Amino acid sequence: MAIKKKSVSVKAPNLLVNKTYKIFINGAFPRSESGRYTALRSADGLLIANVCLSSRKDFRNAVAAARAAQESWQDRTAYNRSQIVYRIAEMLQQREALFIAEMTAMGYSEAQAGREFSASVDLLVHLSGWCDKYVQVYSAVNPVASSHFNFSVPEPMGVVAAMAPIGTALLGIIEASLPAICGGNTSVVLASEKVPLCAVTFAEVLATSDVPAGVVNILTGSRAELQSHFASHMDVNALLAWDVDHPSQVDICRKATDNVKRLCFYKSGDKSLQPIDILMGLQEIKTTWHPIESIKGSGSGY
């Protein structure tokens, strides 16, 4: 990171070691296979970082990693997923100064950055609690008119591709990835193009939080380049996207039909949208029937 805080003395004897911002695929931090980047500069023109411009092949690799990780992630106990998400909150809390520095470098005021950071930690803690509760809240035992036990439970859709909110550097990447994985999905997220740095640093948080490789994959780059691949990839089960303009939405919807992809579009700042809504938007409902021996009077016919 080449964040130059004003308080840092130019006369410092040691040259700062800058961080290369890379993408996060399958638990590793590769550069984009394309070798392309975009320079992120501060208002006064100083280079903050060269951000990877992920390619469709990076996306393909990320989806492959997410698919490979999905079943075993879904098979983890809810308690375990909950603890891992709480661990993410712990790891994030540790890095407060780092994230605030990144946000301010990207144009946040200190106060804004502080608020978003706190909200981010709170969201993680909140979601951690949902991991082992949403199934209870949203399941049902259905009183069918025959001698059967019948119940419906939410189940993850599988691999979720997401395009994070545009305006929030840290909160956005969490909203776009965590509700999905709390519910047993795996995730490929494209970070905000405008404020991408925190997403990469958040990947470092994930990498140190017992999140298995491939469960969350984070790309940086251009929506315009990637969105049609997000929409058309046949092994992506659901697409989650914030702040999509109307023409793009039409384009995504059309391209998403080939595998009947589930689509969730949200707008930044929608106060009615709760984290659990995002989580449940990425769940299927599965209903199971089984006969019950000896329930009398139910009758076999209808």
Partner 1 sequence: MLPGLISKPIDQTGVEERCARFTTRSIKNQTKVEGLKMALNMIDLTTLEGKDTPGKVKQMCYKAMHLHDVYPGLPAVAAVCVFPSMVAIAKEALKGSAVKVASVATAFPSGQSTLELKIADTRYAVESGADEIDMVISRGRYHSGEYEYVYDEIVAIKEACGKARLKVILETGEMGTLDDVTRASRIAIAAGADFIKTSTGKIKPAATMPVTLVMLEVIRDHYFATGKMVGMKPAGGISNSKLALHYLIMVKETLGEAWLNNTWFRFGASSLANDILKQLVKQQSGAYQSGNYFAID
Partner 2 sequence: MSNKSTKAGWELSPAPESSDHISLKKRYELFIGGKFVQPATKQYFDTTNPATEQKISEIALAGERDVDKAVKAARTAYDQEWSKLPHGERSKYIYRIARLIQERARELAVIESMDGGKPIRESRDIDVPLAAAHFFYHAGWADKLGYAFPMKRVSAIGVVGQIIPWNFPLLMAAWKIAPALAAGNTVVLKPAETTSLTALKLAELIQDAGLPDGVVNIITGAGDTGKHLVSHPDVNKIAFTGSTEVGKLIQRSTAGTGKKLTLELGGKAANIIFEDAAIDQAVEGIINGIYFNQGHVCCAGSRLFVQESVSSEVERRLKHRMESLVLGDPLDKNTDIGAINSKAQLDTINKYIKIGKEEGLSMYQTDCPVPSKGYWCRPTLFTDVAQSSVISREEIFGPVLAIQTFRTVDEVIDKANNTPYGLSAGVWTDKGSKIFNLTTRLKAGVVWANTYNRFDPASPFGGFKESGYGREGGIHGLQAYLKLS
Q: Which of 13, 291 has the CB closer to partner 2? A: 291
- For position 294 contacting partner 2 by CB under 8 A, the verdict is no
269 is in the binding site of which of partner 1, partner 2, none (Cβ under 5 to 8 A by kind)? none
Q: Which of 20, 142 has the CB closer to partner 1? A: 142
Choice from 12, 246, 293, 297 touching partner 1 (CB under 8 A):
293
| Helices 78-94 and 110-130, axial angle in degrees (round to 10) | 160
- For position 298 contacting partner 2 by CB under 8 A, the verdict is no
CA gap 81, 169 in Å, rounded: 24
Q: Which of residues 119-158 bind partner 1 (CB under 8 A)?
A: 147-148
- Alpha-carbon distances of 1 from 39, 48, 81, 95, 243, rounded to whole Å: 13, 7, 31, 14, 28
Question: For partner 2, how many residues bind (rule: CB under 8 A)?
Answer: 41
Choice from 5, 291, 294, 296 touching partner 2 (CB under 8 A):
291
Choice from 45, 143, 291, 297 touching partner 1 (CB under 8 A):
291
CA gap 165, 174 in Å, rounded: 10
End-to-end alpha-carbon separation of the chain, Å? 68
Which DSSP category does 30 fall into? P
Q: Residue 49 belongs to what H/E stretch?
A: strand 47-52
- For position 287 contacting partner 2 by CB under 8 A, the verdict is yes
Minimum gap (Å) between residue 299 Cβ and partner 2: 11
Could you tell me which of 292, 55, 26 has the C-alpha nearest to residue 190? 55
Contact residues toward partner 1 (CB under 8 A) are 147-148, 291-294, 299-301
